[in-house]
């Protein structure tokens, strides 16, 4: 099941029309992917050819992820000043800055989701060979926490998570997702550290194989492959571009979208 036009949406207006049909799920978060991955909603550590096993014990940090964080910290000049950040925030930063983790990036802004469904970083600006996709998640699927206070912070990286997470990973895909899935993390903190997250209104959650089954709480919206360049131009006119979403990479001050003419996110 998906919402959208048969050949994919071709404009912001059509995209918003699809979101109107999805209002029944309540408050939403979004993930944009520029093509249709075989495994659908899939984190970078698996999607990019990593040999990491698919089953992990819940949301505890693995040794591989720990070393991804350390590599990230060592190449950032502010890592000493901000070493007091909690582990979920550190791994979120690592993910947003190119580290391979089990996290799935999402956004609270539907137009940011649309941007990532159009923009192809391997062949910018857009891959017109495949449709893009915006996955709309019901926020009630998750237990939202702006300031994480979980076992991830309390236990060492070698230890597992709580029993409910272990049970979830051993359970059938048929288990109701909304009863078992973990927290949605919305990092807060110094904008110098979270420049991309702030610009993208980013959040993240730990991936689980159940997301490949497209449960009812996830609505995929197709984005027409040939319309991607036009949609990107339309987004740019609305104050949203790669320079805005990646201010650190382009050395430009982040634009304040609240003061622009950009449409405000649906709530």
pLDDT, one tens digit per residue, over 185-212 is: 777 665 666 778 888 998 887 766 555 5
**44 close to 95: Cβ distance less than 8 angstroms:** yes
Residue 7 in any domain: the answer is: no
Residue 3 in any domain: the answer is: no
Contacts of 204 (CB under 8 A, 6+ apart): 92, 95, 103, 104, 105, 106, 184, 185
Residue 215 in any domain: the answer is: yes
What pLDDT does 71 receive?
80
- State the average pLDDT over residues 151-161: 34
- The count of structural domains within the chain is 1
Per-residue pLDDT band at 47 (split at 50, 70, 90): low
Per-residue pLDDT band at 76 (split at 50, 70, 90): low
Residue 66 in any domain: the answer is: yes
Q: Is the pLDDT of residue 29 over 80?
A: yes
What pLDDT does 194 receive?
72
Q: Is the pLDDT of residue 170 over 80?
A: no
Evaluate if pTM is beyond 0.75: no
Mean pLDDT of all residues belonging to the chain: 69
Q: What is the span of the domain harbouring residue 123?
A: 12-259
Contacts of 183 (CB under 8 A, 6+ apart): 59, 142, 143, 144, 145, 148, 150, 205
Residue 116 in any domain: the answer is: yes
Residue 265 in any domain: the answer is: no
Residue 128 in any domain: the answer is: yes
Residue 211 in any domain: the answer is: yes
């Amino acid at each position: 099941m998906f919402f959208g036009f048969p050949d994919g949406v071709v404009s912001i207006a059509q995209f918003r029309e699809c979101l109107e049909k999805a209002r029944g799920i309540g408050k939403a978060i979004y993930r944009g992917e520029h093509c249709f991955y075989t495994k659908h909603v899939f984190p970078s550590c698996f999607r990019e050819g990593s040999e990491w096993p698919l089953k992990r014990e819940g949301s505890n940090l693995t040794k591989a992820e720990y070393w991804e964080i350390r590599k990230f910290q060592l190449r950032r000049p502010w890592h000493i000043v901000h070493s007091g950040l909690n582990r979920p925030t550190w791994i979120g930063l690592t993910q947003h800055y190119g580290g391979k983790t089990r996290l799935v990036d999402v956004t609270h802004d539907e137009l940011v989701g649309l941007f990532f469904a159009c923009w192809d970083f391997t062949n910018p600006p857009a891959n017109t060979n495949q449709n893009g996709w915006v996955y709309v998640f019901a926020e009630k699927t998750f237990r939202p926490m702006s300031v994480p206070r979980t076992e991830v912070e309390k236990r060492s990286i070698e230890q597992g998570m709580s029993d409910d997470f272990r049970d979830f990973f051993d359970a059938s895909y048929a288990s109701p997702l909304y009863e078992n899935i973990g927290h949605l993390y919305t990092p807060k903190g110094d904008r110098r550290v979270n420049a991309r997250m702030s610009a993208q209104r980013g959040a993240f959650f730990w991936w689980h194989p159940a997301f490949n089954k497209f449960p009812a709480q996830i609505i995929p919206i197709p984005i027409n492959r040939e319309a991607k360049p036009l949609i990107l131009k339309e987004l740019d006119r609305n104050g949203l571009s790669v320079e805005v979403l990646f201010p650190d990479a382009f050395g430009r001050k982040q634009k304040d979208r609240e003061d622009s003419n950009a449409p405000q996110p649906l709530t």
